[in-house]
Amino acid sequence: MIDFDGVNDWIDLRAGGPVLNVVNSASGGTITGWFEFDDTTTVFMMSYAINNGGTPTDISRIALQLNATSQLEANARAGDADAVENQTDGDAAIALATLIHLAVVVNVGGDTMTFYRNGVQTANLGVSFAGATFTATGCSAAAIAAQDDGTSGFSNLRAEDCRVYNRALTANEIATIYACRGHDNIVDGLTARYQLQEGIPTATAAGAGTAKDVSDNQRHGTPTGGPVYLEFRTNRRKRFT
């Protein structure tokens, strides 16, 4: 787990490298993660930007966040020039200092956004995407705990096991990810996964200061501003054989 201070801490998921192919040309996408909040007013958890000629931008292609009333919210657009589809699950405000698993499933082809808290669906909302798939261009920026380009929106939270898939996960898959707490083995369509456990003795990061992407794509992120590693909360459980 990584602790972000809400001042300048974030993880740069592009880190100056090439544009990111995470949901390119896909008919759907999913963001999931475990979070614990010290502040729940307009919080950015995980976001991927549109392509802006390769220049980092805070205009999201797909993003998971909290709105000003502490409710779960998502942004998505199929094409880089399309208007954003923004929806909120309408459920109660997210509680402070409580570990919670959050997810949004964006079905571009089916024109829906579906929200989950702790594996349970809280809303399935109709939207109207301009296209049937995300654009084929790469994302010019991406972040955990900040706006896509890392220039603002720094969020006071703790996070671990943040993932993005290039497909719309099913309700059963989301429930399984929540229930298995890191041991679900749901890898079909997984384009990035940040367990954020590099700070514990049993983990090996890809390099100094690296937030390791354990998906096949190995798009490692760069912790910026000095976020602090804590004990891995979700899956360091005793096992009996």
The pTM of the full predicted model, rounded to 2 decimals, is: 0.93
- Model confidence over 79-92: pLDDT tens digits? 999 999 999 999 99
* pLDDT digits 0-9 by tens, 11-48: 999 998 999 999 999 999 999 999 999 999 999 999 99
pLDDT-based confidence at residue 240 (cuts at 50, 70, 90): very low
Chain centre distance of CA 154: 14
Q: Which of 37, 84, 33, 38 is nearest to 58 (CA)?
A: 84
Q: Which two tokens stand for residue 39?
A: 């502040």
Q: How far apart are CA 11 and CA 220, in angstroms?
A: 10
State how far the Cα of 175 lies from the Cα of 184, in Å rounded to an integer: 10
Domains annotated for the chain, with CATH where assigned, are 18-191 (2.60.120.200)
